[in-house]
Every structure is written in structure tokens, then in C-alpha cells.
Structure 1
């Protein structure tokens, strides 16, 4: 039986559809009953409402939180494979304790139970934020670049790195592990969270873009890679999942085109962020709440290029062009918002 944590999130919901479609025996956990409707909505992107409901009912749903050990203990009997997608994403300094609790302690709990119940294989969804940085911005970032604790990192990155350390501990205890490091994940269904907010803001009118270059990837490419890796002989390794390295200027242009809206034309300046302008305009896209750090400001203007050759070679994998991913996501956004 397969366990999916974070099944009510972007990656987890789309992953559950694929697993249910393959007629796999699945168990998934949720924290609040109200979050389950979003999963069913994601299923309808791929099939009829009737078929979506049928697939949804095939999943054994259990109420549990990864930071609640007694609850989590009841989830693991009969589990042979785990997709650990659950995480807290926030870039607010006020959420540091919560980030540590969920991302590090929660992952430690999952790892401990994988060991106790002798799970055969564990796939963990991490982030490119945990990768080391090259000396030059023009150098490609690979899986071999080690984390440097002396450089500036967001609290989110620090806690995801801590989670990775827990997963590597599982590999030392005999669990076959895989870590995937996706870039910014683009996909439909969660329009008020993470990259989904980009579609919402541009739909409502957004005039500014900024020059940050980073890795982007479609949610279904992330899932395809995870499934292929779990079904392969690969283990105790990590893989960057990035379709393309793109500027936010280009990504915002593609998004605007997909929504048939004017593309953002004006350059975002650092003074706008430093004076609090970003909070009124686009701050929530990146999780900024009441405060913003100097590293946050610099990060919006950073350039990072990620090398995806390892995953391509390991499982003969091909990525979907990010413009195509955005076009399809935008189409579903318009469909959802026409209801």
C-alpha cells in the first residue's frame, strides 16, 4: 500500500489522481475535512465529475498530522511505499518555529515510522532552495553542490534542508530513499497559494515584473519523475526537477498571455520593496506577511541556473516546456473562475 502525505496540496493532489488512475492501493492523510474538496476538484481537471468521484473514493483517507505521532502511527500499518509531500511553505520570519515543527520534526516522524514499519521506499519532495550556490551566478547549480551554512538562506530553505537530513538518516537505516528538488512548481487548482497566486494577481491586473531568474517546472513533470524514480532501481539519491531556467518577466508574460490579459510592463525596483510597496501589490505571492528581510529583497533580483541533466539521464526523462505548462494552467484558471 502507498501512503501520500500532503495529499491536499498541489503536488499531493495531482499525484493522488495518477495513483488512483493506475488502480494502486492508496492511503492519504488530511488535517481538515474541508480541504478534501480541493483534491476532488483537481481530479475533475483530468476526467468527468463521475469518474473523478469514483477515483477519489478509492483512496483511504485518514485524518492525521505529521507532527502528531499517535495519529501518524495509526497510518502506517501495511504501508510499503511513501510519498512525503507534506510541508509548510512560508517566507515570513514569524513562522520560523512552525516551519521547524512541520518541515523538520514532521519529516523526522515520517522517517521514524518508515523505519519502524520497514517501508521499502520513500520519496521526499524537497526544493531547489536546499541546493548549494556556485561562486558565479552564471554557473549551473547541480545536485553535487553542497549546502553552505555561511550564505544567506530563508527560514523555509533552512528547514527543508533539515528535512533532507532526516531523509538521509532513513537511508542509513536501510530505507531506500529518493529526494526530488523541484523548482517553482506551476500547476492548477490552488489559486490562492504559491505560484497559483501569480495567475490570480495577473488576472486582476498586475503591472510590475522583476528580473529574478530561477528554475520552473510543471506539476505533472514533478509527478512523472517521482513515479518513474519510485518504479526504477534508483535509490539513495537526489534529483533536480527543473524544466527551464526563466526570468519572472518571461513567466509573467506567458501567464498574462494564457489569461488574455496585458503583460506586466514595469520594472519592480528595490526601493518599492524596501518601502513596503510589495506588500500591497505582490508580496503574498512569495509568502511575505508583515516583515521582509534583506535576503528576501536580494532574492527577488537573484539569478540562479539549475542543471536538469541528471534526471534526464537517470530515467530518460523529458520535461514539458514551461510556456506550455502555463498555457494549460491558465486555461484551467479561466475555466474555474468562469463558474
Structure 2
């Protein structure tokens, strides 16, 4: 039995669709019933029989911090894909981020050990990888994380979650960790996923930033996960980045495939600095939700280039080009309208 946590998220839903091809029994965890419609929606993009596929999955309502329900979910499980996470860059969400990302992962690790799970795959992020002071130097799995850096609350808790997985490997659990870049995939056009970027660009945005980061297609993420879980590699981490692109280049490519006007104005670092300070002030004085944290503004102009050669060499992995990924996701977005 395969268990997937976070089955209603971007990675989780695409992973479930892929795993169904193997005809192995699959159990998936969800938190709220209304989120199940997202999975059916994703399935409908790639199959004319989405409902039948959806019903092949054994769905369990549980929270990663609800131990009794998790105990039931782990019965008979041999492999665990831990995709569940809380994604937020709002500093005031730190306690909730710790509870879900770190404590929740600790629970999944502990239950995997107690139920003698054969292997666990944890979905982390490139945000949990260290950075170089020299922006031209490639970041790889050996780049050291520094707690002294001005890391986002999300990055801090995902790094803490990784430590829980590594702790599990010291206690006998076989595991692999993946660190994907910005994941491009369809079906999640709102919220914090990359789909919201497609929606934002389609609706028109005049500004771009000068930063550079890594991107990867969601199917590359799920393919790498499945290959790593089925293979002999264990207790290793892998960066999953197809290409490093500037935000300007990414926005322009998406605008081209969506046939809309690309952004033409650069949001300079000083403008972003004013922006996050005003955002903080609105939060403090008016109680408004944070939309631009200091760390987010900084990353928007930071140049971070990632090296994914480890996954390529370890399992002879080939990434889909980001142009192809953008084109495919753009077509599904336009179909969604």
C-alpha cells in the first residue's frame, strides 16, 4: 500500500494520477472534503474518466498532527510520499508553519518508523538549500544552509522538516528528499502555487523583477519521486530544477503563450523595499494580511542558480524544457477559462 500525504495539492494530485498507472493500492490523506474537487479537476485535464480514477484511491480524512487518524492511515503501508505542507511567506504565520511543516513531518517520520515503512519520499524545496555569496556560483546539494541568513519563515520550517527526515534515517528509516524549484503545473490557479502566476500574467501585470531562480515541471517532479522510490538510492537529497530563469524571462514566456502583453517595467529593489515596509505597516496598524514580506522582496531581486546534475547523473534523468512546460500549462489555463 502506498500512502500519499497532501494528496489534494499540486504535487500530490499529479503524483496520484501518475501512481494510478501502476495499479498498486493507493491511500491518500486530505484535510477538507471540499479540496477533493481539485484532484478531480486535475485528473480531468489528462483523462476522460477522471471520476473512475479518483474512486480507485482510498481517501482518508486526517491532519498531519492528528496521531490517532494517522495511525489508521498507516495500516498496511509500505511506501510514503510526504507532500503535505503549509506554504506561506507571512512572518506572522511562523507558529502554524512550524506546527504543520516541522511537527507534522516529525509525526510522519515517527509513524513510518513504527510501521516499518520501507521508504519515504519527502517533498521539500530549493528554499531549504543554502546560498552562495557569489551569485554566479551554482547552488547544489552540498551548499551549506546558514541559519544566520535572512531566511523566510517558510524556508526555515522546510529546512527543519528535512532535519526530521534525516533524524528518521538515523533511526533506520530509508528516505529520499527532493528540493524542487518553482513547480509549473495545471489546476491550481489561485493561492500560492505557480498557477496563480499564470493567472496574474494573464490578467495583466506591468512589473517584473530582476531576480533569477529555478523552475521545474510538475511531471518531472513526480517522475523523479517515483523513480527514486522504486530504485535503490536512499538517504540522499536531490535538487529538481530544469532551468534557471530570470523572473522577467519567465513572465515574458508565459505572456507569449497566453497571448497577452508582457510586463515592461522593472520593480527595483528600492521600490520593493518601500513595498514590504508599507505592507508591514498595514498589517500592524490595520490588521491586513501580509502580502510582501522582507524576505520575499529580497528573493525577487536575488540571483540564485541551481545545479541539478546530481539527479541527472544518479538515475539518468532528463528534464522537460521549461518552454514546453510553460506552453502546456498555458494551454490548460486557457482551456480552464
- Equivalent residue number for residue 201 of structure 2: 202
Query: Matched residue of 1:211: which SS?
Result: coil
| TM-score normalized with structure 1 length | 0.94
Find the counterpart in structure 1 of residue 50 from structure 2. Answer: 52
Which residue of structure 2 aligns with residue 30 of structure 1?
A: 30
Aligned length, in residue pairs = 328
Instruction: Choose the corresponding residue for 1:120, options 111, 118, 121.
Output: 118
The runs of 5 or more residues in structure 1 that have no matched partner are 281-287
2:281 corresponds to 1:269: no
Partner of 1:148 in structure 2? 146
Q: Secondary structure at the match of 1:61?
A: strand
| TM-score, with structure 2 as normaliser | 0.94
For residues 277-310 of structure 1, what are the alpha-carbon distances to aligned partners after superposition, in whole Å with 9 as ceiling and x for unaligned? 8999xxxxxxx94264433322210000100100
Superposed displacement of residue 135, structure 1 = 3.1
SS at match of 1:45: helix
What is the rounded CA distance, in whole Å, between the counterparts of 2:291 and 2:270 in structure 1? 15
In 2, the alpha carbon distance for the partners of 1:61 and 1:325 equals 29
Matches within 5 A, 1:298-337: 298-337=298-337
What is the Cα deviation at residue 81 of structure 1? 0.1
1:244 matched to 2:243: yes
* Contact 1:7/1:16 (8 A) holds in 2: yes
Superposition misfits of 4+ residues, deviation over 6 angstroms:
277-280
Change (3 A) 1:204 1:279: farther
Deviation at 1:22, TM superposition (A): 2.0
- Contact kept in structure 1, 2:89 and 2:293, CA below 8 Å: no
The unaligned stretches of length 5 or more in structure 2 are 280-287
**1:162-311 superposed matches below 5 A:** 162-193=160-191, 194-276=193-275, 289-290=289-290, 292-311=292-311
Tell me whether 1-10 or 197-206 shows the greater mean CA deviation: 197-206
Check conservation: 1:207, 1:263, Cα contact below 8 A: yes
Q: Secondary structure at the match of 1:90?
A: coil
What RMSD, in angstroms, separates the aligned Cα atoms of the two structures? 1.6
User: Which residue matches 2:284?
Assistant: none
CA distance in 2 between counterparts of 1:293 and 1:134 reads: 22
Q: Secondary structure at the match of 2:314?
A: helix
Decide whether the 8 Å contact of 1:20 with 1:56 is kept in 2.
no
**Which shifted more, 260-269 or 56-65?**
260-269
- Taking the aligned partners of 1:291 and 1:234, their CA distance within structure 2 comes to 40
In the alignment, is residue 19 of structure 1 matched against residue 13 of structure 2? no
Aligned twin of 2:135: 137
Q: Quick check: 2:276–2:297 contact (8 Å CA) kept in 1?
A: no
